[in-house]
Amino acid sequence: MPQISAAYPAKPGQQEVDRVICASRATDTQNVYATLEAIRDRALHHNPQLDIRAALMYQSGWFLHWAEGPHRSVAELFGRIAIDKRHHEPHVVHASTGRRLLMTPWSMLLSSATESADGFGRRVLAIRDQIRAGTQLSPTTVIRRLVLPMRLPGPEGPTPADAYYRVVVCAASGQGAFDLTHWLSETQDVPRESRRTAGPADRDSASDYVDFMLDDMPCRVVAVARTALTQGLQRSMAPEWHFLALLFDGDARRDEALLDRVTEIFDDAPRRPPVLAITPAPADFLHVQQQALARGFDCLDGGHMSAWESPSVWQSIRERLRHETVDHSSVWPLFPGALPG
Question: What domains lie within the chain, and their CATH numbers?
Answer: 17-152+330-338 (3.30.70.100), 165-321 (3.40.50.300)
Q: Cα torsion for 207, 234, 177, 148, to the nearest 10°?
A: -50
CB atoms within 10 A of CB 313: 27
**pLDDT tens digit sequence for 248-295:** 999 999 999 999 999 999 988 888 999 999 999 999 999 999 999 999
Determine the average pLDDT of the residues in 57-83.
94
Of the two residues 99 and 337, the one the predictor is more confident about is 99
pTM across the whole model: 0.89
Of the two residues 112 and 161, the one the predictor is more confident about is 112
Determine the average pLDDT of the residues in 29-36.
87
CB-CB contact of 119 with 60 (8 Å): yes
The three-class DSSP label of residue 184 is helix
Determine the average pLDDT of the residues in 212-241.
90
Residues with Cβ within 8 Å of residue 185, at least 6 apart in sequence: 191, 192, 210
- pLDDT greater than 90 at residue 52: yes
- pLDDT greater than 60 at residue 41: yes
How does residue 331 score in pLDDT terms, banded at 50, 70 and 90?
A: low
How does residue 2 score in pLDDT terms, banded at 50, 70 and 90?
A: very low
Of the two residues 182 and 12, the one the predictor is more confident about is 182
Determine the average pLDDT of the residues in 289-318.
97
- pLDDT greater than 50 at residue 1: no
